[in-house]
Every structure is written in C-alpha cells, then in structure tokens.
C-alpha cells in the first residue's frame, strides 16, 4: 500500500512542480482524522511531496504549504531541506504519531524530530 501511495505522490509532485501559490496537503494524499499507522506514514509522505512541489515552484512566486482548518492530521516525522521563501500555514492540527516505536531514528538511534527543516531560508509559520 505504501509503495502505491509513494508512486501517486511522485505523480502529484510532478504535476504540481510548476504550481505556485497555496498547495493543500490533501491534494498530495494527506488524510485527516485517521490515526492508523498506514495513514500516519502516508501523511508524512504527502507532506514531503507537498514540500517537494513547493521547492520546484517558481522561487519568486508564492510558496505556501497549507494545512486546512477543522482537521487533524496524524503524522510520522517529516523533514525537508534546501528551500527558500516558504510559508507553512497550519490552520488545522498536526498530531504526532502515537506509534513512537515506528519513528525514524537519527544516526545516534534517537527518535527523529516531528518536523525537521534544514538549510531553509525565509521560512514563515
């Protein structure tokens, strides 16, 4: 199932690569109000696909990742790097996965941060 989700997300990312403006995480496969492990993993992939699409958008245009209001998105750790001028608008709720044993581990064997940005300039939340 996860492999099919990844393939779909890659396709969506390519389609949105020329997009600018507000990109809704639901358009990249994020599912609200479901705390199953499969959905938490899919939501992390959806976030990463959305960030990738924003990264490929016009750097001089609006670059916004949007989490819609009235919804809770359960997620596994997400990460992103090498982007400038990004707005992350969180009108809904992001909730850390309760499946801590399945979190990605860092090089020291510790659980990863829930949201990790590196080499990002001009981030607004």
d(CA 29, CA 43): 7
For the chain, give the percent of residues with pLDDT over 90: 45
Q: What is the pLDDT of residues 5-51, one digit of tens each?
A: 555 555 554 454 445 588 999 999 999 999 999 999 999 999 999 99
What size, in residues, is the chain?
A: 125
Number of continuous H segments (helices) and E segments (strands) in the chain: 2, 6
For residues 56 and 38, the model is more confident at: 38
Q: What is the pLDDT of residue 10?
A: 52
CA torsion angle for 72, 76, 79, 85 (degrees, to 10)?
A: 0
Residue 68 dihedral angles phi and psi, to the nearest 5°: -70, 150
Q: What is the pLDDT of residue 6?
A: 53
Report yes or no on whether pTM surpasses 0.75: yes
Mean pLDDT (whole number) for 94-110: 83
d(CA 72, CA 85): 26
């Amino acid at each position: 199932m996860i492999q099919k989700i990844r393939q779909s997300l890659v396709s969506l990312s390519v389609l949105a690569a020329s997009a600018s403006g507000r990109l809704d995480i639901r358009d990249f496969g994020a599912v609200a109000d479901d705390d199953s492990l499969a959905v938490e993993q899919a939501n992390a992939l959806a976030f990463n696909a959305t960030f990738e699409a924003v990264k490929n958008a016009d750097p001089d245009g609006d670059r916004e990742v949007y989490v819609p209001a009235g919804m809770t998105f359960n997620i596994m750790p997400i990460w992103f790097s090498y982007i400038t001028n990004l707005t992350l608008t969180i009108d809904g709720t992001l909730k850390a996965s309760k499946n801590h044993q399945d979190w990605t581990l860092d090089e020291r064997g510790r659980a990863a941060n829930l949201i990790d940005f590196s080499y990002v300039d001009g981030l607004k939340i």
